[in-house]
Every structure is written in C-alpha cells, then in structure tokens.
Amino acid sequence: MLARSAQGLYWMGRYLERAERMCRLLRLQMQLLVERPTPEIAVGWNRIYGSINREPAGGSLIIDSDAAVQADSFALADDLTFERSNPDSVWSCFVLGRENARQFRHRISAEMWTNLNLTYLRIQRLNILDIWRTAPENFYAETAAQIDTFAGIAEYTMYRDEGWSFMRLGRFIENAQLSTGLLLTQIAADTFIADAADPGWADLLRIYHAFEAYQRRYSGAVAPEQVLDLLVTDPLLPDSLCRSLALVAAELRAIGAGPNSIDSDAARQLAGRLSALARYEWPYREDRTDLLREINRNCRELHQLVTGAYFEYPIANLSAH
C-alpha cells in the first residue's frame, strides 16, 4: 500500500475518533450547565482542556460566579466546536478527517464517503449561535451518532486490506491517548476540588457508556478506584484502555513489517508492552497515576514509530527492504 494512502487513512481514523470523543465531552458539559453548581462546571471545562493538553480560550479558566458561567461557557464551547484555528475542535477534526477521506476515496466504500460528506455539509452550515439558541447538547449527540454510524458502515462495507488496518490503528491509538489524558485530568481535579470528585467520576462513566457495566460489577456509590479499574482493565468495555491497546497491537501485527523494519519492529514491541501494562501490571502498581503518564507518553512515542515505519521512512530503506 502506498505510504501516502496509509497515512491518510490512519489520520482519518484519528481525527474522527477525536471529534467523536469531543462531542461526548461537550454533550455532557452542556448538561452540567443546567444541573450542577459553578465549581463543578469549571471542573468539567478544565477536564476537557486538560485531556487535550490545551489552554482554554483566553488563558486560564476561572469561572467565579454564576453570572459568568453562561458567557464563559459560550466562548469555550465555540472554541472547542467551531474554532478553525483550534486543531482539536469538532469542526477542525471533522473537516480534516473528511479531507483525508476525500483524497483517498478509492480506499474506502462509497457508503462511508456519503455518510461523511452529509455530516460535513450539515456542520458547514452551522455556528455556535445556531446550536446555542436551542439545545446545544442535541448537536453534539447527533454529530457523535453520525460518526458512530460511519464506524458501523465501515465495519460492514470496507474492504479488509491494509487500509482497514491503518484506519483502525489511528482510531485506537487516538483512543488510548485521549483516555489516559482524560483519566489523568480527572485524578488531578480530585486534588483541587474534593466536593466535585464523586460527580466527576460518575460523569466519566457516562462519557464511556460504562455506567451500566459499573453497576453490574460493583454495588454502592461510585468509587474513583473502581471506576479507574473498570475503564483501564475491562477487556469487554468497548472504549477501555486495555482493549484499545490490545487492538493497536493486533492491527500492527496484521499490517506486518514496514519499509523501515527497525521502527515497525519497535512499534509492535511497544504496543505489546503497553497492552500488557494496562491489562496485567495495573493491579500491582502502587502509583497508578505514574503508570497512566507512562502509557500516555508511550502512546505518543508509538505514533512516532508508526510514522517512521510506514509513512515517513528514509528512502534508503526502500532498497534495503
């Protein structure tokens, strides 16, 4: 498979996964605006920005009065939804994902392209005022559902060649990186606002569609350590960290060695190690925050190895391969 095609499909998977996760976070945040006290709303905004390692629009986020909540939340939602200069906004991620799909339409199914293009045309006609006047959470729910529909269409219509594996590889690396960032941000929030801890962890379960799974496994109130255990180690939870990392390792095995065999071997080894860390070493680590930081850092390194192995390898490796 051409490196340019593989890279485009990889980034399509990453961008759409990022857009879908942002929609989940913003849908919950819109609900917090009408249900929760001001400190918890501020925690929610900090959780979103911390998970993507970005400073809030206008600098540090300080929502110190009820009167400021709506005005500041409007600006922050605009930054995270429609701001063109923010590479993590829903608009930017979806447009970039769709552009990668457009360039490599011959590698995806016609049904996938139709779904993406219709969603793109809908988003292009909107701005923050359009969705804020009614119920902004409906926009985020609908957009996330359309991205989920795209994933379902891909499951049933896309040819299972290397393009399929590269798209999924991008999706699962993005998922693992976002998940560790989100969990680390929630852990940090507990340190500063103890009263918001329990609602914050319950919110995480809702973001991951894991509330019912938590209730089946545990009884009683939501406990942070139990939420962490579920979201990190449950292989049956669709977005759990251990499942995402196991699927990264599986897709790298399916793709096989790249033109840069040194980096592709290193990528497969690192993916296997990360999968083992989340699944088997987690219960025995005393400092779980440090382990999450290690996995987050290594996910970034894994991305670099994948890039060097399959997309941006030295030309000399072609003749050697």
User: What does the pLDDT look like over 185-210, one tens digit per residue?
Assistant: 999 887 766 555 568 899 999 999 99
Domain count, the chain: 1
**In the chain, pLDDT over 90 holds for what percent of residues?**
76
Residue 319 has a pLDDT of 43
Average pLDDT over residues 130-143: 94
Provide the residue range defining the domain that includes 237.
Answer: 3-320
Name residue 264's amino acid.
S
Banded pLDDT at 320 (limits 50, 70, 90)? very low
Task: Spell out the residues 6+ positions from residue 189 whose beta carbon is closer than 8 angstroms to its own.
Answer: 43, 46, 47, 50, 196, 197, 200
pLDDT in tens, 165-187: 999 999 999 999 999 999 999 99
Residue 33 has a pLDDT of 86
Q: What is the mean pLDDT of the chain?
A: 90
Residue 61 has a pLDDT of 57
- Single pTM value for the model: 0.92
Cβ proximity of 137 and 27 under 8 Å: yes
DSSP 8-state assignment for residue 59: S
> What does each C-alpha distance from 143 to 112, 119, 146, 178, 255 come to in angstroms?
15, 7, 5, 19, 31
Average pLDDT over residues 130-144: 94
